Amino acid sequence: MRQNINHMHRPFDALAIGSIYLDIHYGRFPFDTKMGINTETETVGSEVLLSVGGSAANFAQISASLGMSMALLGKIGQDRVGDIVTEELSKLKIQQLIFTDPEVQTNVSSHFTNPAGNTIQTTGGSANAALDPDDAHRVVRNYFDKISTLYIGSYFKLTALQDGYQQLVIDARNAGIDVLLDHGMVSNVVEREHIRKVKKLIEQVTYYRPNEQEFCTIWEVDSIEAGFRKLLTLSKRPETVVTRGEKGAVGLDLDGNTYTINSFSITPKNAVGAGDSFNAGYLFARRQGKNMSEAITFAHAVAAIRISKCPLPTLDQVETLLKEKP
């Protein structure tokens, strides 16, 4: 299997561009899966945790925790919430390429997880949507000689950036930069034109990382296998890994080989960021020279630790879990 590994030494393993949130996690929060949280009542949970979230921010933090050198590009407000975000990112020595604006509010996301592991998410704020595409793409281009990988998260959420991504990615690849795309959930506000653009972009990236529902929706199929058959007809296609939650993941390499790898059996405490942590683990493993099968297993370990034990898995924790795998 051919491997996409950039051997040129550059200061940053990756630059992540996408949404940034201050996440508030409420664990063991009692609500019924069908009914949700009752209105006009006070519902009390037993756990609360503050962290920086969003696809790009999660990816950057977990990658840094694993030992990669990271840069993060996004936008926050000039408010107390934004201050907390920058303070948390500074702890991991992440290069902050973050625009601030007094006219917008830093985005906040609240996650409620019940004892069964089901979640409810609410969000607010205006900074992410205000990220200017010209500014963002200019900063990325200025870092072309400093980064080995460009990570694109929150593609469908940051619609203003979409038009410039195609040429940006082509230019990045020509500059010897790998590109990892995780377009995220296909919500009710995603238009056909957005899907057309991302399918065109997928042909240009190095790594494509959807989950099963996202993948089947984008490619209008009812199975991963059917979607892979469509990818195989493309003149250019990426290394693709489709995650399936507790069912593991299925990969399609550049030679057309497929790999089905089981996930770890764990009890999840908070599933938020599982996909982002998988992405960080997968890129780390591929940059270490691991093949697709090994990289998926490594990524599963990172995600398992993230959702069951520690929001920011370390390399030591991952290696310990891998040794324990039957």
- What mean pLDDT do residues 263-275 have? 83
DSSP E strands, 102-257: 108-113, 119-124, 147-153, 178-182, 207-208, 239-243, 249-252
Do residues 142 and 17 touch, judged by C-beta distance below 8 A?
A: no
pLDDT on residue 8: 59
Question: Is 7 within a domain?
Answer: no
DSSP assigned state of 36: B
**d(Cα 103, Cα 101) in Å, to the nearest integer?**
5
Tokens found for residue 104: 């917008």
Question: Is 87 within a domain?
Answer: yes
Number of domains in the chain: 1
Q: Which of 24-28, 34-38, 68-72, 270-274 has the highest mean pLDDT?
A: 68-72
In sequence order, the 6+-apart residues with CB closer than 8 A to the CB of 65 are 92, 312, 313, 314
pLDDT digits (tens, 9 = 90+) for 59-75: 999 999 999 999 999 99
Residue range(s) defining the domain that contains residue 67: 12-324
Nearest to 77 by CA among 68, 89, 85: 85
pLDDT digits (tens, 9 = 90+) for 153-203: 989 989 999 999 999 999 999 999 999 999 998 988 899 999 999 999 999
Share of the chain above pLDDT 90, in %: 77
Q: What is the pTM of this model?
A: 0.92
pLDDT on residue 7: 46
pLDDT digits (tens, 9 = 90+) for 226-246: 999 999 999 999 999 999 999
How far is residue 286 from each of residues 3, 164, 206, 266, measured CA to CA in Å? Answer: 8, 27, 11, 24
- What mean pLDDT do residues 191-217 have? 97
> 309 versus 81: which is more confidently predicted?
81
Tokens found for residue 64: 């840094």
Question: Is 293 within a domain?
Answer: yes
Question: Is 3 within a domain?
Answer: no
Domain of residue 316, CATH code: 3.40.1190.20
